Amino acid sequence: MDKVTAMTRRVLYQFPLSLYCEKAAWLLDAKGLPHRCHNMIPGLQVPRAQWMAGLSTLPILRDGKMVIGDSTAIALWLEKQYPELPLLPNDSVAREKVLALEGYFDELGDHVRRCVWSVAVDGPQVEQIFWGFSGYGRVVRMIGRCTVPLLRRMLRWRFQLYPQQVEESWQRVSDGLQFLESLLVDNPNGYLVDGRFSLADLTGATMLAPLIGPENSPWSASRLGIAMSSERRALQERLAGQWVLGMYARHRHAGL
Ligand X SMILES: N[C@@H](CCC(=O)N[C@@H](CS)C(=O)NCC(=O)O)C(=O)O
Q: Is the peptide bond before 59 cis (omega within 30 degrees of 0)?
A: yes
For ligand X, what does the binding mask look like between residues 142 and 181, x meaning CB under 6 A? ----------------------------------------
**Closest CA relative to residue 169, chosen from 117, 212, 209, 120:** 117
Pairing relation of β-strands 36-39 and 10-14? Answer: parallel
- Long-range CB pairs of 216-223 (<8 Å, 24+ gap) are 216/248, 216/249, 216/252, 216/254, 217/22, 217/248, 217/252, 218/16, 218/17, 218/22, 218/133, 219/17, 219/116, 223/128, 223/129, 223/132
Amino acid identity, residue 211?
A: L
User: How many residues sit close enough to ligand X to count as binding (CB under 6 A)?
Assistant: 12
Single residue of 29, 70, 102, 201 touching ligand X by CB under 6 A: 70
Q: Between residue 7 and residue 36, which ones bind ligand X under the rule CB under 6 A?
A: 15, 18-20
Report the sign of the C-alpha dihedral through residues 95, 97, 103, 105, in that order.
negative
Nearer to ligand X, 106 or 201 (CB): 106
Please report how close the Cβ of residue 59 comes to ligand X at its closest, in angstroms.
6
Nearer to ligand X, 8 or 56 (CB): 56
For ligand X, what does the binding mask look like between residues 75 and 114, x meaning CB under 6 A? -------------------------------x--------
Single residue of 10, 29, 71, 218 touching ligand X by CB under 6 A: 71
Single residue of 27, 30, 58, 108 touching ligand X by CB under 6 A: 58
Nearer to ligand X, 79 or 194 (CB): 79
Single residue of 5, 50, 56, 171 touching ligand X by CB under 6 A: 56
Report the sign of the C-alpha dihedral through residues 103, 81, 191, 21, in that order.
negative
d(CA 48, CA 14): 12
Taking CB under 6 A as the rule, does residue 204 contact ligand X? no
- Site residues (CB under 6 A) for ligand X? 15, 18-20, 56-59, 70-72, 106
